[in-house]
Amino acid sequence: MLVQIWAAVLENAAQKAQAPKSPILPKRKKFPAFQRLFLNRRKNGP
């Protein structure tokens, strides 16, 4: 269940990153941290 939530969060972040409207420089710094957390969670199980 958590994996689905994380997948949705990452998908949402990816869509925001692709949107050329809003400059997302501050959020871009946080994104790798989200990815690391997500990958760690997948390694350790749901």
Domain regions of the chain by residue span: 2-44
| 5 contacts: CB under 8 Å, gap ≥ 6 | none
How does pLDDT run across 25-38, given as a tens digit for each residue? 555 555 666 777 77
What is the pTM for the complete model shown?
0.34
Confidence of residue 46 (pLDDT cuts 50, 70, 90): low
Contact by Cβ (8 Å): 7, 42: no
Contact by Cβ (8 Å): 24, 16: yes
**Three-point CA angle 9, 14, 40, nearest 5°:** 55
